[in-house]
């Protein structure tokens, strides 16, 4: 409804601000006037009709097609109808917002962490708020107030306060939506995401296929120097992502899904939907993954039960050439000579050590003897002098 009067301009402005159609605003005004008339004058609302002049905004009330508008009713009813009018407009606004987000279910949106309510997180989406339950939070991811993130819109449900929008950070649709934003080929439909297996916060596997010949689906998703896939990983809190080429051949698809492990052989049993996979022994732990994560994600992605076993590769011994044999003999001889020299050196060193140990002992003995000899000479001199004195004494006595 395109109106040009002052009343119509105000009506259109209110409708634009609230995101509601002008006709809905008019209907709300009529309902508010009916409620005000019933409160003041009684009667049944069903029997009352309201007409509003679209030029002036003047309201007239009819009962049984008779004009029963009281004098000055517009001014009296304005205050009475105000609260009803505001409440109905808020309800209409909320209904319009929910209708908008109903169309957005299955897509991603920007949001800001507003507050924590128990285990739930309240997310500000701009026009309204959304709830992220504890089950939809990524393990190992810390949420801070005013933190801006991308969320997947799961749906709309009835809560304690009426309808509420539910968002998620664990849904595999978040990975798909981020790839659509980062990879133009996916957004335009040239590259198609065939499947996603995800363990939130840890690892995801994405199977992609090309609808156009000459386009590498894996290269398109990874980007030059990995710039595209790195942008997705950064948004998911450094969650690891394996991009895999989809194949209609189950054996090829299963072998690719076990990436980064290399697969020797795949035998697919179509009847039981079971795949028997052989990998080299050095690739077995890589194929299974930490706590079986790699094979578990591969099974989710392909829809097959995967049984992995190692396969040892026995290699025939290579024949030795004449030159190699000669070189071995020379090396062996050199090794023996080196050992002999080492033994000789160690023996010489031991001998020198013994000689050095003996020398101090001899010197010590010599020094002791040298000290002892003067003492003996002194003793002999004393004895001779004593002897001379005794002889002299005896002569004097005679």
Q: What is the mean pLDDT of the chain?
A: 80
Dihedral of the alpha carbons of 102, 105, 107, 109, in degrees to the nearest 10 = 60
Co-location of 148 and 192 in the same domain? no
Containing structural domain, residue 144:
108-168
Examine the pLDDT at 261 and tell me if it is beyond 70.
yes
Q: pLDDT-derived band of residue 349, with 50, 70 and 90 as boundaries?
A: low
Location of structure tokens 């992220």: 132
Co-location of 58 and 48 in the same domain? yes
End position of a domain, from candidates 103, 122, 149: 103
Co-location of 35 and 71 in the same domain? yes
Co-location of 98 and 113 in the same domain? no
> Has residue 372 been placed in a domain?
no
> Has residue 34 been placed in a domain?
yes
Q: CA–CA separation, 147 vs 80, rounded Å?
A: 43
Is the pTM value of this prediction over 0.85?
no
Co-location of 114 and 95 in the same domain? no
Location of structure tokens 């309510």: 117
**Nearest CA among 252, 259, 294, 297 for reference residue 275:** 252
Q: In the structure encoding, which two tokens stand for residue 104, read together?
A: 């957005």
What's the pLDDT score for residue 32? 78
Co-location of 222 and 235 in the same domain? yes
Co-location of 149 and 177 in the same domain? no
> Has residue 20 been placed in a domain?
yes
Span between the terminal Cα atoms of the chain, in Å: 176
> Has residue 96 been placed in a domain?
yes
Please give the backbone phi and psi of residue 316, each rounded to the nearest 5 degrees, phi first: -70, 140
Co-location of 92 and 26 in the same domain? yes
What are the pLDDT digits (tens) for 278-292?
999 889 999 999 999
Q: pLDDT-derived band of residue 63, with 50, 70 and 90 as boundaries?
A: confident
Q: Which of 83-92, 196-205, 229-238 has the lowest mean pLDDT?
A: 83-92
Q: Which residues pair with 307 in a beta bridge?
A: 276
- What percent of the chain lies above the pLDDT cut of 90? 44
Q: Indicate which CATH number applies to the domain containing 78.
A: 3.30.1480.10
What are the pLDDT digits (tens) for 128-153?
999 999 999 998 888 999 999 999 99
Q: CA–CA separation, 67 vs 113, rounded Å?
A: 54
Co-location of 163 and 177 in the same domain? no
Examine the pLDDT at 346 and tell me if it is beyond 70.
yes
> Has residue 344 been placed in a domain?
no
Co-location of 262 and 194 in the same domain? no
Q: Indicate which CATH number applies to the domain containing 306.
A: 3.30.300.20
Q: Indicate which CATH number applies to the domain containing 115.
A: 2.40.50.140
> Has residue 396 been placed in a domain?
no
Beta strands across the sheet bearing 240-245: 191-199, 203-210, 240-245
Co-location of 278 and 241 in the same domain? no
- What percent of the chain lies above the pLDDT cut of 70? 77
Total structural domains within the chain: 4
End position of a domain, from candidates 168, 183, 207: 168
Burial class (CB in 10 A: 0-12, 13-18, 19+), 161: exposed
Examine the pLDDT at 89 and tell me if it is beyond 50.
yes
What's the pLDDT score for residue 392? 45
What's the pLDDT score for residue 364? 44
Q: Which of 149-163, 328-342, 380-394 has the lowest mean pLDDT?
A: 380-394
Q: Which residues contact 280 (CB under 8 A, 6 or more apart)?
A: 262, 264, 310, 311, 312, 313
End position of a domain, from candidates 246, 273, 300: 246
Co-location of 30 and 62 in the same domain? yes
Q: In what helix (H) or strand (E) does residue 158 lie, and over which residues does it extend?
A: strand 148-159
What's the pLDDT score for residue 176? 95
Q: Give the three-class secondary structure for 163.
A: strand
Average of pLDDT values for 95-120?
A: 91
Q: What value, to the nearest 5°, has the Cα angle with vertex 216 and ends 215 and 222?
A: 130
Examine the pLDDT at 310 and tell me if it is beyond 70.
yes
Q: Which residues contact 263 (CB under 8 A, 6 or more apart)?
A: 254, 255, 277, 278, 279, 283, 287
Average of pLDDT values for 141-169?
A: 90
**How does 338-365 read in b/e, with b if 16+ C-beta sit within 10 Å?**
eeeeeeeeeeeeeeeeeeeeeeeeeeee
> Has residue 255 been placed in a domain?
yes
> Has residue 136 been placed in a domain?
yes
Q: pLDDT-derived band of residue 366, with 50, 70 and 90 as boundaries?
A: very low
């Amino acid at each position: 409804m395109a109106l040009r009067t002052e009343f119509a301009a105000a009506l259109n402005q209110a409708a634009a601000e609230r995101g509601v159609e002008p006709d809905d605003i008019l209907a709300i005004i009529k309902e508010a006037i009916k409620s005000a008339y019933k409160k003041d004058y009684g009667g049944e609302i069903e029997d009352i009709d309201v007409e509003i002049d679209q030029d002036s905004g003047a309201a007239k009330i009819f009962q049984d097609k008779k004009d029963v508008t009281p004098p000055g009713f517009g001014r009296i009813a304005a205050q009475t109808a105000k609260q009803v009018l505001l409440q109905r407009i808020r309800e209409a606004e909320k209904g319009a917002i929910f209708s908008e987000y109903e169309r957005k279910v299955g897509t991603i949106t920007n949001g800001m962490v507003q507050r924590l309510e128990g285990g739930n997180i309240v997310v500000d989406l701009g026009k309204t708020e959304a709830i992220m339950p504890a089950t939809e939070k990524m393990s190992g991811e810390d949420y801070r107030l005013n933190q801006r993130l991308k969320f997947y819109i799961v749906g709309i449900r009835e809560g304690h306060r009426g309808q509420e929008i539910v968002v998620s950070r664990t849904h595999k649709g978040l990975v798909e939506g981020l790839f659509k934003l980062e990879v133009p080929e996916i957004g335009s439909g040239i590259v198609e995401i065939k499947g996603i297996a995800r363990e939130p916060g840890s690892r995801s596997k994405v199977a992609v296929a090309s609808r156009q010949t000459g386009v590498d689906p894996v290269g398109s998703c990874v980007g030059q120097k990995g710039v595209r896939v790195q942008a997705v990983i950064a948004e998911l809190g450094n969650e690891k992502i394996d991009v895999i080429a989809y194949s209609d051949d189950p054996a090829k698809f299963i072998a690719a899904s076990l990436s980064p492990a290399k697969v020797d052989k795949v035998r697919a049993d179509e009847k039981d939907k079971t795949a028997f996979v052989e990998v080299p022994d050095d690739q077995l732990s890589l194929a299974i993954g930490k706590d079986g994560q790699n094979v578990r994600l591969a099974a989710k992605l392909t829809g097959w039960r995967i049984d992995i076993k190692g396969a040892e590769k026995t290699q025939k011994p290579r024949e030795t050439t004449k030159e190699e044999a000669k070189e071995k003999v020379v090396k062996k001889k050199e090794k023996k000579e080196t050992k002999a020299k080492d033994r000789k050196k160690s023996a010489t060193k031991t001998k020198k050590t013994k000689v050095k140990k003996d020398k101090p002992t001899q010197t010590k003995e010599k020094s002791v003897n040298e000290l002892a000899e003067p003492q003996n000479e002194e003793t002999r001199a004393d004895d001779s002098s004593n002897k001379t004195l005794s002889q002299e004494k005896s002569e004097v006595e005679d």
